[in-house]
Each structure stands twice: as C-alpha cells, then as structure tokens.
Amino acid sequence: MSQPDVIVVGGGLGGLGAAFALTRQGLRVRLLERAPAFGEVGAGIQLAPNCTRILDDYGLLDEAVRLGVVPDSMVMRDAVDGSELTRLDLRDLEKRYGYPYLVIHRSDLHGLLLRACERVGVELITDARVTSYENTEGGARVTLAGGETHEAGVVIAADGLHSLARELLVDDEPVSSAYVAYRGTVPAGLPRVRATDLGEVVVYVGPSCHFVHYGLRGGELLNQVAVFESPKALAGQEDWGTPDELDAAFAGTCDFVRDGLPYMWRDKWWRMFDREPAMTWVHGRIALLGDSAHPPLQYIAQGAIMAIEDGWVLGEHIARNRAADGTVDWAPALAAYQAVRPEHCRRVVTTSRTWGELWHLDGTPREQRNTLLRARDPYDYSFTDWLYGPTALTPDQEPAMFTPIPLSSATFPPPPHANM
C-alpha cells in the first residue's frame, strides 16, 4: 500500500464524514476501523440545519431526505400530564436557516456516508485496532494490535468516547450522568403508530426522565427513546440502568408515555456519558475529531452533527492551505481547525448538560419551566440561531450565545378567588 496523505482512525459517523471531506479535497485517505465490518447501532438521529447544510454541500442531502423523514413540527410536552408546553414550526425553521430539519435512522446515515467514501476512493480497512499514536518527523504514525504500523502526513483520531488519542492531550475520564437510554422502533400499522402523528418530533419532559418519539424511513417506523436517571447509578452500584428501573422511572408519567415502554428493546441500554470540554485538540500532526474531542449528552441532538461539522471545517481549512502542486501546509490548517472548533463544541457540551437539567425538573422548578415554555413565541429563534446557522470557520464567525431566562422570572396566575 502506498502511504496516504491522511489516516482517519474510527469508522463511525464522524470518521466517515471526515474521510469524505478530506478526500473531496484531493487527499488520499486511509480509514482504519477496529470492528470486523462497518456498521452502526442504535435507531433514530436528528439532523438540524447546521448538518443538512453540510450534507447538501457534499451532494448527499437528497439521498438523506429519501431515506429519512422531514417533519413538520417539534413539540415539547409535559411527561406527567401530557400537555403541550411549546413547539417549533420546522417548515418555518427551514425557511429561516435555508436547510431542513431531518430525522433518519443512524444505520441509514452511516450507510450513506460509507457509500460516499467508497465512491470517492477512501481506502477502507476493517479489523484494524489502533493501540498507539505517535508523531514522526514528517507526520504521524499509528500502531495496530498486531504490530503493524501505518504512517501519513496527519492522523485524525475519530476514536470515540474512550479515545486512546485523547490521552496525548488530556488526562481525564468519561463523566457519568447517571442517566441511561432505552431505544426501540415500532413498525407502521400497529395501533400505537396509527395513533401518532409521524410529522412531529415529540419530547415528553418529566421528573428525572424524558421520552422522545418521531417517524423514520418515510413513516415505516416509529422511533422511541426513553431516558431516565438510575437510582442504582446514584448509589454507586455497578449494575445500573436495568429494565426494572426503566419501568419504575416512568411509573408517574402519562398514559401515552407508559404505553410506549413495552416496545423498547430491553436487552440493551445506553448509559449516558460525556467529558469535560477539552480546549486543545491538536498534538503535532495528530488531531482529535468527534466524540474523542467533545462527547456531549444528547439533549440538544448535536453529537453526530458536531463530528460531521469537524470534518467539514477541517476540509475547508485544508483547501485554504493547499498549494498548486497539491501539498498541504498542515501547520496553519490544523491551527485554524484548533482555533475555532473547541470553543464552539465547549458551548454545545455545556449547553447540553444545562438543557438536560431543565428537562428533568420536578416540583416548583418544573412549574416555573412549564410556565416559561408555554409563554414562549413559537417563532422565537433566539435559542437556536447560535447553533443552526452556518458553521463558523473562524472565531469571529461564531455567533453570540443566547441569553438565559431564569426560572425565577416565571409568574404564576393568582389562585381562584384569591381576591375574595
């Protein structure tokens, strides 16, 4: 094998997206995947306009739309009483940002990116478990479990939450949120699906739990996600997030939510971890990308999107630092990537945590949250402009953050007969 320009470690959504982005800039890319075959586990994934904009730039949006669902609305409900709290008109949102909000099966998005990489000639290698990273005089090198080495001008580490490459830059461990997710899909035709509007992305927010549903594959499936805080995790027990905890966590929720629990896959669950934001992603010619750099909690649905953005931004800076003969000046390209992505992703990681706290309130704070959400203008985009607009390539392009609204600002109507 001839030496590639770039090695990408990890064949998930971020790794495939980066491999495609760099290959379309004319680079020879080798992707190393530790599993014996390419694949993706899970069910649905939400793609906001900051991602569908990139898919359109890649020429992949039409295929993604055919494989997924473009919903009409996003609705937030109270999980206890089922009442609507607020909504987003996703068709109007598309007009504002120029690109649609899309929901798609993770395996369909993964397959789309894999086929795109195959078309442009990415060298795809499976059964390649990387055990070490190191810089060389002219680039970087990875060593596989069997002792084989691969070298390139740059190594992109898209090796996930438990990243080995991250250890070169940050001495930290994943942070457990004590929350766990159950997933499942319901085939169209069953009464539960017939009674559900598949044109809506709905989240029911409740005390220490929430429940999400939306349509997939053109309405062939109803995707469901149930997330809750595990008492066993809080108690420090190893066996946490078990099905008995799932049922107990949602016992106080409305009928629609409880009726969805039998459809969840009960033999597999996903414990929710993130990491403290890392502000340095580049170590010589080794660069972090995706969850190796910024694993978030899922509350603003940006994890995979950030990874896809990372690859696009890196590709754009390579294009700006490539000579006529095709050689890349890697130092300024990586410096530009480092200058813009960590701060944006820090904002996403910390906002995801805060949003999750807001979803899971109980007691008076829950009532304050509900009051503020019910008063919200459905066409107020002040909380999404910083996220769904064009992806920044330089720090000065990063939009200002939203201004938080304190729960204490909620005003309740006086009780009946208060003035009598």
CB 227 within 8 A of CB 49: no
Distance CA 2, CA 74 (A): 49
Alpha carbons 326 and 19: distance in angstroms, whole number? 17
Phi, psi of 335 (to 5 degrees): -65, -40
pTM over 0.85: yes
Return the residue matching tokens 């929350």. Answer: 179
Residue 214 annotated to the active site: yes
Dig out the tokens for 127 from the structure: 């059964």
Domains and CATH numbers, the chain: 6-173+275-397 (3.50.50.60)
- What is the distance of C-alpha 65 from the center of its chain? 18
Name the residue among 57, 103, 13, 48 with its Cα closest to residue 348.
48
Q: How far apart are CA 316 and CA 337, in angstroms?
A: 9
Question: What is the CA 241 to chain-centroid distance, rounded?
Answer: 21
| pLDDT given for residue 417 in this prediction | 62
Give 335's contacts (C-beta < 8 A, 6+ positions apart): 282
| Triad 250, 253, 255: Cα angle to 5° | 110
**Alpha-carbon distance 313 to 394, whole Å?**
9
> Of 41, 100, 18, which is closest to residue 66 (Cα–Cα)?
100
Annotated catalytic residue, options 58, 214, 299, 337: 214
Is 306:17 a contact under the CB 8 Å cutoff? no
Q: Beta strand pairing status for 282-283 and 140-144?
A: unpaired
Q: pLDDT digit of tens for each residue in the chain (420 aa)?
A: 689 999 999 999 999 999 999 999 999 999 999 999 998 777 899 999 999 999 999 999 999 999 999 999 999 999 999 999 999 999 999 999 999 999 999 999 999 999 999 999 999 999 999 999 999 999 999 999 999 999 999 999 999 999 999 999 999 999 999 999 999 999 988 999 988 999 999 999 999 999 999 999 988 999 999 999 999 999 999 999 999 999 999 999 999 999 999 999 999 999 999 999 999 999 999 999 999 999 999 999 999 999 999 999 999 999 999 999 989 999 999 999 999 999 999 999 999 999 999 999 999 999 999 999 999 999 999 999 999 999 999 999 999 999 999 999 998 776 666 554
Contact 402, 386 (CB under 8 A): yes
Q: Distance between CA atoms of 343 and 331, rounded to whole angstroms?
A: 19
pLDDT at 43: 83
| Rounded CA separation 202/256 (Å) | 12
8: left (phi over 0), alpha (psi -120 to 50) or beta: beta
The predicted structure's pLDDT at residue 420: 44
> How far is the C-alpha of 201 from the C-alpha of 246, rounded, in Å?
22
Give, in degrees to the nearest 5, the angle at Cα 61 between 55 and 63.
130
Strand intervals (E) in 10-157 = 29-32, 44-47, 73-78, 84-89, 102-105, 123-125, 130-135, 140-144, 149-152, 154-157
Residue 39 confidence (pLDDT): 84
Residue 400, CA distances (Å) to 172, 309, 386, 403 in order? 29, 18, 6, 9
CA angle 93–95–98, rounded 5-degree value:
100
